[in-house]
Amino acid sequence: MTEFGKIGDFKKKKNLGEDLQSTVDFLTCSDHQAVFNQLEKGSSQKVEIDGERIFAVYQKYDSKDGSKPIFEAHRKFIDVQYLHSGSELIFVSDIEGAKVNQAYVEENDFELFELKQWSTLRMKAGMASVLYPEDLHAPCILCGQSQLIEKVVVKVKID
């Protein structure tokens, strides 16, 4: 089940497990602005934290219209999405009632879905969401107006 809130609140949790705790430590202790200063809008940069088991993808983009969202899901990784700057919506749902839009692609660890109903997370700078394999999600959705977003997505391999 999706979890979200201020990144500092995740740091206080005792039951995160070692890999998610390492992720929270990375998100709260790293100089993200230095990476974002080097990124062009529309680009991303991968940073290894623990090899291919835990890695971060820095993304800089404009939030997008959410009138026809496409939901994604992952099987091998948990997504921890940390909003460094801006605000956006993330639509979330379980898989019940979802229609497969694109079959699972193992190389990229994603499958795409269409849904008619979902819940909405309103993300602001300094917030994070933890999205598990059972959580369908459509991130990057504009909150009011489109704006520049700087986000770190940490991928945590499931054992």
Count CA atoms within 13 Å of residue 27 on its CB side.
Answer: 35
Task: Decide: pTM greater than 0.75.
Answer: yes
Could you say which architecture CATH assigns to the domain 3-157?
A: Sandwich (2.60)
C-alpha span between 46 and 6 (Å, rounded): 23
Identify whether the C-beta of residue 150 lies closer than 8 Å to the C-beta of residue 86.
Answer: yes
C-alpha span between 84 and 153 (Å, rounded): 10
- The DSSP secondary-structure symbol of 30 reads S
- 58-83 confidence digits (pLDDT tens): 999 999 999 999 999 999 999 999 99
Mean pLDDT of 10-27: 88
- Could you give the 3-state DSSP secondary structure of residue 139? strand
In the beta sheet, which residues pair with residue 11?
none
C-alpha span between 141 and 123 (Å, rounded): 10
- 97-123 confidence digits (pLDDT tens): 899 999 999 999 999 999 999 999 999
* Run of H or E including 134: none
What is the domain partition of the chain in residue ranges? Answer: 3-157
Name residue 66's amino acid.
G
